Amino acid sequence: MRVKLIAYTVVDESEIDNELGFMRNNWEVKEPDHLAETAGRLCYLSFNRPNPKTRENKDYLNNVINQGHESVLAHASATFIIKGVSRSLTHERIRSRFLSFSEVSQRYVNVQNTEIVTPPAMKNEGLGLEGSYLTQTTRDAYEDITSNLVSRGYSRKQAREAARAVMPNAMETKIMVSGNLRAWRDFIKQRLAPGADAEIQELAYLVLMNLEMYAPNTFQDIAHLINDYEERTNR
């Protein structure tokens, strides 16, 4: 599995200063964390940081999170390219309603020789799917159906549309996923839980590893999930 952060919110701090007179008081604070604080302070026009307990960005966002006022965390966003995951995983994605997805189309792309993603439990036990009788049989069936339908006058897209029905959930796919940081928090809290699908737990873990560096104060309350996952998977 490969997870790469390819796009993210960049803040024009000079314009924030011009429009609101608000600048970071600590230049080690990451831009998305600063943006969330700016949004929160706009609601109350508290740009002079009147409360010593929330004067620092980390403390301010900790207070926001504890109060459940996470709407201000939705102003910054992040986009990932994700490779080496299964169609089984991407089907689980439909329950993550607040993220946006683009995925390889099986109607247009020949998926006969697509790589197979071995489920984590099988991988842990040294078992594999690639090269198995079942895998080869489904690939042969895919080719037979495609060729048969094309010979009967169907377009290649129509043939692949039908033939994909025999391909396993374990076939590899590629997706681009975008979401604001509030949506990513929701995804991570659900999918990095011990009871979640094992493959999607790994995805949530890798996403959090990236986002914790990108916006550490926004994810401060769930950063411990990284260590929790590593301990239970002996990573």
pLDDT digit of tens for each residue in the chain (235 aa)? 999 999 999 999 999 999 999 999 999 999 999 999 999 999 999 999 999 999 999 999 999 999 999 999 999 999 999 999 999 999 887 777 799 999 999 889 988 888 889 889 888 888 877 667 667 888 899 999 999 999 999 999 999 999 999 988 999 999 999 999 999 999 999 999 999 999 999 999 999 999 999 999 999 999 999 999 999 999 8
What's the pLDDT score for residue 211?
A: 98
Sheet with 100-103: list strands edge to edge: 2-8, 77-86, 172-180, 100-103
Q: How many CB atoms lie within 10 A of CB 120?
A: 15
DSSP-assigned letters across all residues of 122-137: HHHTT---TT-HHHHH
* Residue tagged 């996923």 (tokens): 177
Q: Which residues pair with 82 in a beta bridge?
A: 3, 175
What's the pLDDT score for residue 136?
A: 81
What's the pLDDT score for residue 114?
A: 86
What's the pLDDT score for residue 134?
A: 67
What's the pLDDT score for residue 79?
A: 98
Token digits of residue 217: 């104060």
In angstroms, the CA 138 to CA 154 distance is: 21
Q: Which of 93, 182, 191, 232 is catalytic?
A: 191
172-180/2-8 β-pairing: unpaired
Q: What are phi and psi of 229, to 5 degrees?
A: -65, -45
What's the pLDDT score for residue 73?
A: 98
Residues near 56 by beta carbon (within 8 Å), at least 6 away in sequence: 25, 26
| 191 among known catalytic residues | yes
CB 162 within 8 A of CB 149: yes
Q: How many CA atoms lie within 13 A of 149 on its CB side?
A: 17
In angstroms, the CA 193 to CA 197 distance is: 9
Question: How buried is residue 231: exposed, middle or buried, by Cβ count under 10 Å (0-12/13-18/19+)?
Answer: exposed
Query: Domain residues of the chain, as ranges?
Result: 130-167
